[in-house]
Amino acid sequence: MPPLAIHFQNVSKGYGASQVLREINLDIASGEFFGLVGMNGAGKTTLIKCLLDFCALDSGTIEIFEVSHRLTESRKLLSFLPERFMPPYYLTGMDFLKYILKLQALPYDQAKSEKMLQALDLAPSALSRPVRSYSKGMTQKIGLAACFLASKELYVLDEPMSGLDPKAHALLKSCLQELR
């Protein structure tokens, strides 16, 4: 069995009197695709927030590649795209990708970036435009491109299909298969 990318053990989280997560036990192997499906308010985003240490657990433990989720080191191998992703409005697409890659101590590669954009059906000309002029779908695609260009072991994507048309849905699935 491949090593575990994520391990949840007896994870519980509530907000006030509302218990959102109750003793969640879940293992996700490295290289595995895993999707959280549920009704609005079921706790999917809360589970992701707990994984990324954006909120404190009421009880339980979470490990990312066998390192406590509480340690910054545990998140070095993952790339995250939030549900309501919004890049800094004053940047162009290229500046945004350069910024994200610089944060990861990775060089910007124009050809690789354009190839990724093409794989997600975003015209390379979008790189020269300010992200504030992007549609919801274009914004989602530049966010996905930034995640994938960071070349991590684990991708945590909250509502990755949001704003994407049917063609882009299929292309995203293909990108994920290739990254696997």
DSSP assignment string, 2-15: PPEEEEEEEEEEEE
Widest Cα–Cα separation across the chain: 52
Which residue type occupies 98?
K
Q: Look at the pTM and tell me if it is higher than 0.85.
A: yes
Give Cα separations from 161 to 26, 53, 61, 112 (angstroms).
Answer: 23, 24, 29, 22
CA 27: distance to chain centroid? Answer: 18
What letter would DSSP give residue 86?
A: -
Q: Kindly report, residue by residue over 111-136, the tens digit of the pLDDT.
A: 999 999 999 999 989 999 999 999 99
Q: Kindly report, residue by residue over 61-101, the tens digit of the pLDDT.
A: 999 999 999 999 999 999 999 988 899 999 999 999 999 99
Q: Kindly report, residue by residue over 15-55, the tens digit of the pLDDT.
A: 999 999 999 999 999 988 898 888 888 899 999 999 999 99
Asked whether the predicted pLDDT for residue 103 surpasses 90, the reply is: yes
What the chain holds in terms of domains, given with CATH numbers, is 4-76 (3.40.50.300), 93-179 (3.40.50.300)
* Per-residue confidence band for 1, with pLDDT thresholds at 50, 70 and 90: low
Q: Give me the residue label for tokens 């409005």.
A: 89
Provide mean pLDDT across the span 133-150.
Answer: 95
